[in-house]
Each structure stands twice: as structure tokens, then as C-alpha cells.
Amino acid sequence: MKRFAKPALALIAFFAFACQDNPTLAPPVTTGVLVDDSFATNTNGWDGDYTDYGVEQQSLIEFSFTHATLPAPLNQSQKALRVFGRNRSDDLFMFVRKQLTGLAPNTDYKLVFDLEMASLHPSGSIGIGGSPATSVFLKAGASATKPEKVKDGNFYHLSVDKGAQSDEGTAAVILGNVSNGKDVEEYALFQRSNTERPLTARSNANGELWVFVGTDSGFEGDQALYYTKIKVTAL
């Protein structure tokens, strides 16, 4: 029996090291910072999409999602997630999303979103259909399935319940609007958060969760917005 002791101990040590080195065997994340992204060099896994419009309006919207430098008078050496669209439906939802993994399966998470972004418009601005600042509602959401646009008849809507404009849905909470916090029409950075009202979302059986932030717009015009920081914390 003694001559097998050393090989047996070596085998145990090997498996212990392998488990420690394999991230798939790490304990699932239940609290703490899940996302803390800025976008100096890349999109960090975020992508963009848009919804809430009729099929006949699709060619008019000219939506784009890019990794772009900030506009003047902001620091043009800094990059951000830029979304652009022409709201021809009076209800355009432009958003960015990212999948999270390594969470506890089938578990409720209380999420706080902290955003920094840039907008062109002051709170007193007016526009067709509504203000490009105060009639554009900033939302943050999460779901076990990928939030994406689905076609229902001749209309595209989001696959999860984000609510409609100033109304919240079961999968999203309103963080405020996109007023730039200034008295003039120029791009400025501002922050939004739902610290006082965390959003509860449940992970799927694989310990995955999608998070998204976007704007539900009542302003019928062109709008470009820049997301510079996105942080998501589980309480």
C-alpha cells in the first residue's frame, strides 16, 4: 500500500490545481460589480439594435451603432458607444446590450445601473412630437433571454417587456431622460442611476443574464447619443 501513496497524492494535487485553474469551476457570482465598462479601446462585448417601428419605416430610420470618438466640445480623444437613429415612428427604442455569464443559475438578482453618457439637448429644448431631451426616456433592463426585436404583423417590438416610453416594464426601469444638464445645445456628459430603485431580474438555468440600456423616444427627429461608462452592480 505504501508504494501507491505518492502517486495517489500527486493525482489529488493535480485535480485540485486543475479545478482552481479552470474558470468554469469557479463559484458563481451572486453579488458585487458585474459590469464596469468604459470604451477607450473597444466595445467590451456590447452591441446595439433598435425597435418599436413599422416595417414601412425601416429604411427611413438609418440606425447605426459604432465605437466612436466623442464630439466637440467633449474630449475627442475619448471613445464611446454611439447610437444614432431617425425617429419616424414617434416611439423609437435604440439600445445597447451585453450578455453576462458565470452567475448563479435560476437566481434573482437586484441590479443597480450607473451610466455616464453624452447628449446634445438641454431640458428646455422642444421638437416634433416632444422634447429631444425630456421626451426621450432612458431605460435600463435585464432578462434571462436576449433582448432583440421581433416582428409582429407589420411592427417590430422588443422581445422582453421594457414598457412604452414613460411607462416601465417588468424587464426595465426608467433612469430619467437625456437632458444634458446645460442651458445650451451642445454635447455634455451626465450621469444616471437607479440606486434607489434596483431592478430584479432572474438568471437562466445556465447562469446567464442579458443587460441592456436604451432610450424610448417620443421625439420625432435625428438623435445621436454616446454611452461612455456602464456599470452594473448586484446587491
Q: What is the pLDDT of residue 130?
A: 80
Whether residue 109 has pLDDT greater than 60? yes
Classify each residue of 122-132 as buried b or exposed e, where b means 16 or more C-beta atoms within 10 Å of its C-beta: beebebeebbb
- CA-based nearest residue to 138, from 106, 84, 85, 179: 179
Q: Looking at the predicted structure, is the pLDDT value of residue 32 above 50? A: yes
Q: In this predicted structure, what is the pLDDT of residue 91?
A: 87
Please say if the pLDDT value at position 5 is more than 60: no
Q: Which three cell numbers stand for residue 190?
A: 451626465
Overall average pLDDT of the 28-35 stretch? 96
Cell of 128: 416634433
Q: 25: pLDDT confidence band, cut at 50, 70 and 90?
A: low
Among residues of the chain, what percentage have pLDDT more than 70? 89
Question: What band does 180 get if pLDDT is binned at 50, 70 and 90?
Answer: very high
More confident call, 177 vs 19: 177
Predicted structure pTM score: 0.87
pLDDT of residue 176: 97
Q: Which domains, and CATH codes, for the chain?
A: 31-234 (2.60.120)
* pLDDT, position 219: 87
Burial of 152 (0-12, 13-18, 19+ CB in 10 A): exposed
Beta strands 93-100 and 47-51 are: antiparallel
Cell numbers describing residue 79: 471613445
Mean pLDDT of 164-184: 96
Tell me the mean pLDDT in the region 192-220.
96
> What does pLDDT average to over the chain?
90
Judge whether residue 21 has pLDDT over 50: no
- What is the predicted pLDDT for the residue at 2? 40
Lowest mean pLDDT among 8-17, 104-113, 218-227: 8-17
Task: Report cis status (omega within 30 of 0) of the bond before 122.
Answer: no
Interval 118-166: pLDDT, tens: 999 998 888 777 899 999 999 999 999 999 999 999 999 999 999 999 9
Grade residue 220 by pLDDT with cuts at 50, 70 and 90: confident
